[in-house]
Amino acid sequence: MTDSVVKARLGTKAEVVVPKPVRDALGLKPGDEFAFVIEGDQVRVVSVSSQIDDPFAGFTEWASAADTKGYAEF
């Protein structure tokens, strides 16, 4: 997959239209949910379905080897 940058604009009511290339890349359709994963000063947009396998994926502070081992049963 080639890295690319796709711009969007924040509206006056803090609404964003997800650009078609982003919707296509994530396989999003109207009504689908997506999430913002905040990592320092960077934010990733991910489809919620890609996060189902790892409920802690958005919590990078819980990403140590000890945490992975401790929560392996869950």
The pLDDT mean for the chain works out to 81
Q: What pTM was computed for the model?
A: 0.58
The tally of domains found in the chain comes to 1
Domain residues for 74?
1-74
pLDDT in tens, 17-36: 999 999 999 999 998 889 89
- CA separation, residue 56 to residues 3, 62, 64, 72 (Å): 25, 7, 11, 11
Residue 50, domain CATH = 2.10.260
Give me the pLDDT at residue 66, please. Answer: 82
73 has a pLDDT exceeding 80: no
